[in-house]
Amino acid sequence: MDFTRCSGVLLHPTSLPGPHGIGDLGSQAYRWIDWLSAAGCKLWQVLPLGPTGYGDSPYQCFSAFAGNPLLISPDLLIKEGFLDEQDLPTGAGLSNKRVDYGTVIPRKLELLRRVFARFTAPPGSRSGALKGLRTAFDSFRTENASWLNDYALFRAIKQAQGGGSWISWPEALRRREPSALAEARETLAGLMSRFSFEQFVFFHQWLRLKTYAHDKGIRIIGDVPIFVAHDSVDVWAHPDLFLLAQDGRPAVLAGVPPDYFSPTGQLWGNPLYRWSTLEDSGYAWWQNRLRSALRLVDIVRLDHFRGFAGCWEVPGDALSAEKGRWVPGPGADFFNVLEKNLGDLPFIAEDLGEITPDVIELRDRFGFPGMKVLQFAFSDPGNPFLPHNYERNCVVYTGTHDNDTARGWYESASEQEREFALSYLGVISRSGRRFAEALIRAAWSSVATFALAPMQDLLGLGSEARMNYPSRLGGNWTWRMAGNALSDDLQMRLKDLNSLYHR
């Protein structure tokens, strides 16, 4: 894929401001696109958009195909006649500063239950806006049946079983015995329909927003994690595609050995793929997954790209990722099949971590741009993350969702790193905010095809605005942008950078 030189900002929709406790796809998302376009940016990068499960992480979703109903905008539901103003919950508890998932989730799901109740009400009692939706909903279910039917059944059973992991369900459901599934479809038909309807509304709102972004000259970079959550419909419905033990638990787990982020490595807990079975089917499941992703976004960041060359396999009962082994991934055959069936592959390879020559060879064979993260750069002049060492076909970031903010990094860096960084960037001031501005300028001025920064860095925020601590359980994914953050001054400064460095 031959990308054109441009720039953008990393900001997950949950971080948008608004009155409903979590960022969503409503007016603030449209305002964000307007602001980004007026600043001369052409890219908006988001995290995975799926329905979050354990730890509220977008990298641990109940489905690799579905959308997150928490992103559905109540204001758009009111505007389109799905809800009335009085349906919105009142009272304290909704924060504008952080996402309090414990408060947001039940409130948002209650709103969606009300919408569905009105949608399924007798025709005479429906509002005019809802009367014409039945045909559109039926078409959506038909067009997405390959993943939606299993997803709706999975979510309905999960709710009926008290929300527990599928591994704790009755054996007949856990093993997907046909008679048990038939009974569940019959008894849970209404619940299945509701979960399908939530997806219908999510896709409706997101695809409309995507069209608006295109009209404003903005392309969306999405994120496809290589692995899926064990407690997901993907593993439950397709156990033959994963390395599972007899009881359905992962026989081996995904992770990475000790690295920059954690001295004991990262044990992600995801099951590994049975690549030989996937290969026998022509990687059909992956083809479907990426087709679905490219319906929602324009460019895909392949998270943990190195896993396609080889991945770190840890025993299923391990408590950390320190002891494991490298096992081969599908390699070039996988991407040859994708290219043959999907055409041009608009992929960015997340090639961070322990990168070996086979990973670089695989990336370069298909021309995928890799990632350069400036926070990793300031050790010595030969560091490959320093801009003077870049080739054009790469994507530079000041930091990612897994890093501290630029200001936070600077304020906690060693004296040696800090002095090298200030000298390299030509910064006299020792202000963390000024350092963040200089880091963005270094990214924008580099030869990298794409230059991106998290919104937190554009705002000059410190560690309190960090999105994720990879080795920390809980308390992640909660940061929200202030309602007055999208200032004219910041927009003009960003526009000047884009003009100056031809982005």
Summarize pLDDT for 401-459 with one digit per residue, the tens: 999 999 999 999 999 999 999 999 999 999 999 999 999 999 999 999 999 999 999 99
- 266 versus 307: which is more confidently predicted? 307
Give the confidence band of 96 by pLDDT, cuts at 50, 70, 90: confident
Bridge partners, 452 (sequence order): 8, 397
Domain assignment of residue 104, yes or no: no
Q: Which of 150, 234, 351, 402 is catalytic?
A: 402
Domain assignment of residue 480, yes or no: yes
Bridge partners, 44 (sequence order): 9, 220
Measured in residues, the chain has a length of: 503
Domain assignment of residue 326, yes or no: no
Residues 294-323, mean pLDDT to the nearest whole number: 94
Across the chain, how many H-helices and E-strands are there? 19, 12
Instruction: Give, rounded to a whole angstrom, the gap between the first and last alpha carbons of the chain.
Output: 18
Q: How does the average pLDDT of the chain come out, rounded?
A: 94
Q: Which two tokens stand for residue 282?
A: 């022509």
Give the confidence band of 491 by pLDDT, cuts at 50, 70, 90: very high
Task: Provide the domain count of the chain.
Answer: 1
Which of 113-122, 205-214, 370-379 shows the lowest mean pLDDT across its residues?
113-122
Q: What is the pLDDT of residue 363?
A: 98
pLDDT in tens, 254-292: 988 887 667 788 888 899 999 999 999 999 999 999 999
Q: Which of 198, 303, 404, 457 is catalytic?
A: 303
- Whether 341 has a pLDDT exceeding 60, the answer reads yes
Whether residue 2 lies in the annotated active site? no
Domain assignment of residue 341, yes or no: no
- 323 versus 298: which is more confidently predicted? 298
Residues 170-196, mean pLDDT to the nearest whole number: 98
Neighbours of 317 (CB within 10 A): 11
Q: What is the pLDDT of residue 261?
A: 65
- Whether 403 and 375 have beta carbons less than 8 Å apart is answered as yes
- Whether 93 has a pLDDT exceeding 80, the answer reads no
Q: Tell me, what amino acid is at 496?
A: D
Nearest residue to 189 via CA among 252, 128, 141: 141
Domain assignment of residue 6, yes or no: no
Angle at 49 between CA 353 and CA 475, to 5 degrees: 65
Location of structure tokens 């799926």:
50
Domain assignment of residue 90, yes or no: no
Residues 472-493, mean pLDDT to the nearest whole number: 94
Q: What is the pLDDT of residue 106?
A: 93
Give the confidence band of 133 by pLDDT, cuts at 50, 70, 90: confident
What whole-number distance in Å separates Cα of residue 440 and Cα of residue 454? 10
Whether residue 402 lies in the annotated active site? yes
Q: What are phi and psi of 292, to 5 degrees?
A: -65, -45
Domain assignment of residue 457, yes or no: yes
DSSP string of 404-428?
PPHHHHHHHS-HHHHHHHHHHHT--
- Whether 486 and 455 have beta carbons less than 8 Å apart is answered as no
The fraction of the chain above a pLDDT of 90, given in percent, is: 85
- Whether 48 has a pLDDT exceeding 90, the answer reads yes
Residues 70-84, mean pLDDT to the nearest whole number: 93
What whole-number distance in Å separates Cα of residue 4 and Cα of residue 65? 28
- Whether 103 and 56 have beta carbons less than 8 Å apart is answered as no
How far lies 7's CA from each of 4, 375, 440, 502, 503, in Å? Answer: 10, 18, 11, 9, 6
What whole-number distance in Å separates Cα of residue 302 and Cα of residue 290? 10
Domain assignment of residue 456, yes or no: yes
Angle at 149 between CA 145 and CA 150, to 5 degrees: 125
What whole-number distance in Å separates Cα of residue 52 and Cα of residue 446? 35
- Whether 46 and 218 have beta carbons less than 8 Å apart is answered as no
Domain that holds residue 452: 369-495
Give the confidence band of 127 by pLDDT, cuts at 50, 70, 90: low
Q: What is the pLDDT of residue 381?
A: 97
Whether residue 361 lies in the annotated active site? no
- Whether 22 and 99 have beta carbons less than 8 Å apart is answered as yes
Residues 62-74, mean pLDDT to the nearest whole number: 98
Q: Which of 350, 351, 404, 437 is catalytic?
A: 350
Q: What is the pLDDT of residue 11?
A: 98
